[in-house]
Structure 1
């Protein structure tokens, strides 16, 4: 209990030491590779669905949000496809690439996908775009908090 309220007991790891241990965990690293692949496939699917109306009826893509949606996914979809191929090789080799190009491509592809989704919602109704933007950012915080808490709370495997 004392460790939970900020007082380290004898033999307890600091948060930094626990993070470093987690970063070396091979099972966790394999899981990250699988999750990255799932995320790319999901974003490509969302992008493909969202751009279809803009490609089939060019009058809808004439609005500024429509153009932003199209351009965003024009950036994201090819990058995500390339990242899937790199990810399969990473899974095969059991390690992540250290390529700076790939490290830059990840956030660019994710950001372009997010901008595309927000612009698509904005195209329908600006309030929907604002709501998507707000709750997209909240969702990042929810995921980060939940993931961090789950991984750093220990290895008991059960509820507290």
Structure 2
């Protein structure tokens, strides 16, 4: 019975995230017009230019992994520096195939469902993984569309 409630809540969060993502994309468009906005991504992003993966993150990832990448304890892992984020191939595989069951990140066990995002283009997947790998305390190299295409 507890599993039923867990999956019901997960479905609600996923649907809520899909709905709130549309607002975030619109809000992101409005925010990007502000020339004083600094990108929260390290690297070559110019003043006022958000990383192209930020909109994808806001639409598909923010609900579970939060706006600051901190995740939800016991349910959704943080996107701060860890062995999963550091492994490009693992990140691409997660985006394309999803993940279910227990995983351990930074010594904490998480047990939830991450749906596959294989409906996204190679460019969108590369952009969002690159955004995560350059945000939330991460300072890692970008992922290319070619790397995503090869894994697909």
Q: Which structure is larger by alpha-carbon Rg, 1 or 2?
A: 1
Q: Which protein, 1 or 2, shows the higher relative CO under an 8 Å CA cutoff with sep ≥ 6?
A: 1
TM-score normalised according to structure 2 size: 0.29
| Larger proportion of strand | 2
| Larger proportion of helix | 1
TM-score normalised according to structure 1 size: 0.28
